[in-house]
Chain A
Amino acid sequence: MAVHQFDAVIVGAGGAGLMAALQASQSARIAVLSKLYPTRSHTGTAQGGIGAALGNLETDTWEWHMFDTVKGGDYLVDQDAAEIMCREAVDTVYELEHMGLPFSRTPDGKIAQRPFGGHTKEFGKAPVRRSCYAADRTGHMILQTLYQQCIKQGVTFFDEYHVVDLLTRDGAACGVVAVEIATGDLHVFHAKAVLFATGGCGRMYKITSNALTLTGDGMAVVGRRGIPLEDMEFFQFHPTGIYKMGILITEGARGEGGILRNGKGERFMEKYTPTLKDLAPRDMVSRAIFREVREGRGIDGKDYVHLDLTHLDPKVIREKLPDITDFVETYLGIDPSRAPIPIQPTAHYAMGGIPTNARAEVVADEKNTVFPGLYAAGECACVSVHGANRLGTNSLVDIIVFGRRGGKQVGEFVKKASFTPLPEKPLEQTEARFAALKREGGGESVFEIRKDLQEEMMDKASVFRTEPDLTKMLQIIGDLKSRYSKIHVKDRGTGYNMELLEAFELGCLLDLAQATVTSALARQESRGAHYREDFPKRDDANWLKHTLAKINGQRVTLSYKPVSITKFQPQERKY
């Protein structure tokens, strides 16, 4: 067993992890652990942009941005945190530009901005140009730029180290266990502080925009150590995924003027959200598509609709949406300036995750008690700035703002803190887990269980939910878990034993699906992305609160905590 010691370890090298690393490494000895080479992280796939009220093309203010964020999140947003995010967004975007991010530019050389779903001026009056972008590869440029800065700053990376456990002692974090993928060796990282930035868990669904590696490892690892996961029932379905594949077509396509049409060729969003139409928030557009399909108005009666860009200037499509043009050509053989794109809602973003405060410190109970030495930022965390439904461009803001805050906080913390000793047997849990996966005689396979989980979650716990479906889903998860205990990993090798690591990832997905469905079943109302057909109204009297789902072995137990409301009182959400 190799033991390394650092002031802090950061798990994950996407936007959140790298931003935290840039901050923390200024004053502390840190290591960044990532199961992927940093530049492979899923931040690199973000297309549309990062929201900040720069006001480069028209008047804009952070208050309007905050209002949109709160309303978009169906008032489940913690408003103190949203205020911080929307204020700091402006400076953070300038900081990214200073680091070299090649933003697209306005004619007078400023950072270009475009409209995006749910972003408005004057508290909801009309769409506003707030999304700062670099063509349709904003995330790619963010990831590259941050990695470049890390190289410049000499940040220490452990690439292709897969973290499988969090180590705690006496109620404080003291490190992690990681598998060195190239050799299969287990490493213990002893640290005063651990920051998780491991991204989302979209792979619990069949149709998803998320990478094959987005399996929620960080959330599961932390959850298994007794820290409850917050608001897991809120999972965002993005309206425009390429039919059957789930690959994302950015909302920027609608920002540039794209229109959704049903099988009759109608612009159906006019009916549902007359003011913002196609640029309404994602939860609403996704539900509208499901409704159209259900009522027989899908294309040829099937389960998809069209995203129509054919009326746009082909030059706009080529210059502002080059990557999605390439995806559509590659995977569908379609030229988007000539033919409409078949799309369906795709599992996109986990609003829930590891609960934190606005300093990215993990808070472990209903009273927001800080868990010493433990931090989280980015999609794996729940601050909560997205509430029940995230607005487009707000995740990139989140990862940068709270990645930076987390990094700073870690830097401060390790100056004063001392090392908590490692537990007596730091590898105990990991070894037991892997031994079970390698045990002979089971005969179940990762592939089959994962496929069943993804299909069933898509069917029973996606855009529309009901009590019978969710109850059934819990049973199914129970069955899948007992099948999981009979998994037999055949690869006996050590280096690049991807079968073993995928089995580990599947275990994470199963735990997270259980937390998601348990939370969804309990919440008897509809809010943001969580839509219960049997409770179609939002119910502030009973449900204006955050869910906390604690994973106890095979069971998940729930508790709740209040929402922070500062500037904006809950109102009905109309667009």
Chain B
Amino acid sequence: MEVTFQLLRFDPLKDRQPHWETYRVELEPTDRVLDGLEAIKGQMDGTLAYRRSCAHGVCGSDAMIINGRNRLACKALVKNMKEPIRIEPMRGFKVLKDFVVDMGPFFEKYRAVKPYLIEKEARPQKERLQSQEERERFDDTTKCILCGACTTSCPSFWFNAGYVGPAAIVQAHRFIFDSRDGGAEERLSVLNNQEGVWRCRTVFNCVEACPRGINVTRAIGEVKKVIAKGGR
């Protein structure tokens, strides 16, 4: 079937302003939006730029706004999209070219929450024990692929680029609720301030945007509670 795409194109070397361009390509209904982009780039206009790698929703490269909503191009099927399929870059980061945005600030905030296990005690000879319930406690937030869809769908982030953002809080949650971790306090000091969790106004955009089905707002809520209690 022929599918119509409208892409918000921008090349900083040529364009002052982003502009819409229309493309029509032959695709199968079961194709991904990413297949459409590959076809446009391969057969019509090689200058189109976007990131992609795994093509099945696990590497986090290709979050973009598709028909008004943040999604991964490789997880959106053409048959489920209204035509024309309109694609824009994620909102809130500098656009480098077409759908490639500067993820530098995103990863900076990720690093700020100390996204690594802060070990409480010396390493045993074998594995540390952790019960299935303890493991389950933070299972949801281990799924995050750092795609940025949540953060860039958040109005609090659009209006205040300093906000640490849902993705970084999700990462903090993954460790704060890990029974093996002893770094809750260090992380909470980053999160318990003006640019931290309190900027979250529970708008729930992030939950809807997350391609991994993580309940982002709940995770943020749980972190807020820990802060209010003064520790886990």
Contact = CB atoms under 8 A, between A and B. Distances in A.
A36 B53 contact: yes
Given A39-B146, A148-B117, A496-B97, A447 B42 contact: yes
A212 B52 contact: yes
A111 B46 contact: no
B133 to A, nearest CB: 9
Given A45-B58, A151-B111, A490 B46 contact: yes
Given A39-B59, A151-B111, A331-B30, A102 B178 contact: yes
B49 A99 contact: no
A98 B49 CA distance: 40
Contacts of B127: 54, 93-94, 97-98, 103, 110-111
Interface residues of B, number: 62
Interface in A124-178: 134-135, 137, 140-141, 144, 148-149, 151-152
Given A94-B127, A109-B129, A495 B116 contact: no
Given A39-B145, A94-B126, A148-B116, A496 B138 contact: no
Contacts of B135: 102-105
B59 A499 contact: no
A326 B175 CA distance: 25
Contact of B130 (A105, A149, A497): A105
B141 to A, nearest CB: 10
B232 interface: no
B145 A100 contact: no
A211 interface: yes
A103 B117 CA distance: 14
B58 A323 contact: yes
B60 A493 contact: no
Contacts of A137: 58, 142-143
A151 B98 CA distance: 29
Interface string B92-134: 0000111010010001000100111101000101111111100
A446 B96 CA distance: 24
A318 interface: no
B61 A36 contact: yes
A107 B132 CA distance: 6
A327 interface: yes
A224 interface: no
Contacts of A446: 42, 46
A29 interface: no
A141 B142 contact: yes
Contact of B129 (A110, A448, A497): A110
Contacts of A564: none
Interface string A480-509: 000000000111011111110000000000
Contacts of A54: 126-127
A428 interface: no
A211 B116 contact: no
Contact of B59 (A102, A148, A211, A491): A211
B97 to A, nearest CB: 4
A556 B12 CA distance: 43
Contacts of B97: 493, 495-496
Contacts of B58: 44-45, 137, 140, 323
Interface string A423-449: 000000000000000000000011110
Question: What bracket does the count of chain A residues touching chain B fall in?
Answer: 35 or more
Interface string B159-170: 000000000000
Interface string B25-67: 0000010100000100111011111111111111111000000
B106 to A, nearest CB: 10
Contacts of B146: 39
B138 to A, nearest CB: 7
B13 interface: yes
A182 interface: yes
Contacts of A99: 117
B57 A327 contact: yes
B49 A102 contact: no
Contacts of A108: 129
B24 interface: no
B57 A495 contact: no
Nearest to A36: B53
Contacts of B107: 37
A99 B118 CA distance: 9
A42 interface: yes
Contacts of A571: none
B180 interface: yes
A114 to B, nearest CB: 15
A331 B53 contact: no
Nearest to A153: B116
Contact of A45 (B42, B56, B129): B56
Interface in A245-266: 245, 247
B195 interface: no
Nearest to A498: B49
Contacts of A330: 57, 75, 77
A287 interface: no
B131 A493 contact: no
Contacts of A498: 41, 48-50
Contacts of A45: 54, 56, 58-59
Nearest to B213: A326
Contacts of A94: 125-127
A87 interface: no
Q: Which 4 A-B pairs have the closest CB atoms?
A: A447-B42, A100-B117, A109-B129, A499-B46
22 contacts: A39-B60, A45-B58, A98-B128, A102-B138, A104-B135, A105-B131, A110-B129, A137-B143, A140-B58, A144-B142, A151-B116, A247-B56, A326-B213, A327-B57, A331-B56, A445-B43, A446-B46, A490-B45, A493-B47, A494-B13, A495-B12, A496-B100
Interface of A: 36-37, 39-42, 44-45, 54, 93-94, 97-100, 102-105, 107-111, 134-135, 137, 140-141, 144, 148-149, 151-152, 182, 211-213, 244-245, 247, 323, 326-327, 330-331, 445-448, 489-491, 493-499
Given A105-B131, A109-B129, A498-B48, 15 more contacts: A39-B60, A40-B54, A40-B59, A44-B58, A45-B54, A54-B126, A93-B127, A97-B128, A98-B128, A102-B178, A108-B129, A212-B52, A491-B47, A496-B49, A499-B47
Interface of B: 11-14, 30, 32, 38, 41-43, 45-61, 75, 77, 96-98, 100, 103, 107, 111, 114-117, 119, 123, 125-132, 135, 138-139, 142-143, 145-146, 175, 178, 180-181, 213
